[in-house]
Amino acid sequence: RFGLKKQPVSAFIALGANLGDAPATLRWALGAIAALTGTRLVRSSSLYRSAPIDSSGPDYINAVAEVATTLHAPALLAALQQIELAAGRERPYRNAPRTLDLDILLYGDASIHSPHLQVPHPRMGERAFVLVPLAEIAPVRVSAAQLAAVQGQAITRLG
């Protein structure tokens, strides 16, 4: 079948929201991701609060999830975008406040550079709201130097 691999790949997905009930939306999104065809939620980080970067609006709630998926990366991206739409995501302008944002950070060891998808995510190393939750669930994926580079960005672990 198109869009499916034979063996599951480990992928890491960043979740973020700053409109509506963001914690509830992220919990809902984790369930929706776990329900994707050929996809199993392996683990997810705690929820974190962070100030918007290159954006505006209220603070963001962020998390990172690891999935094992047989979806090819473009099919996974398309499925994540459908989840965003189901959560009311609109894209009125670049970096607008959002009800839900889902980004593929890592897809196995793949390096993907297409007009629609770049993996590893090109800005993940610049953002505490990605690196801190990623380090929580997959410490081998984040170096001490990467964490040191973002230590000035305020991020708070929730409950």
The catalytic position among 1, 21, 54, 98 is 98
Whether residue 123 lies in the annotated active site: no
DSSP symbol at 92:
S
Q: How far apart are CA 54 and CA 32, in angstroms?
A: 27
Whether residue 91 lies in the annotated active site: no
The catalytic position among 89, 109, 127, 157 is 89
Whether residue 109 lies in the annotated active site: no
Whether residue 98 lies in the annotated active site: yes
The catalytic position among 1, 49, 91, 103 is 103
The catalytic position among 43, 49, 91, 101 is 101
Q: What angle do CA 58, 98, 12 make, to 5 degrees?
A: 105
Q: How far apart are CA 143 and CA 146, in angstroms?
A: 5
Task: List the one residue out of 85, 136, 95, 101 whose CA is nearest residue 22.
Answer: 101
Active site residues: 89, 98, 101, 103
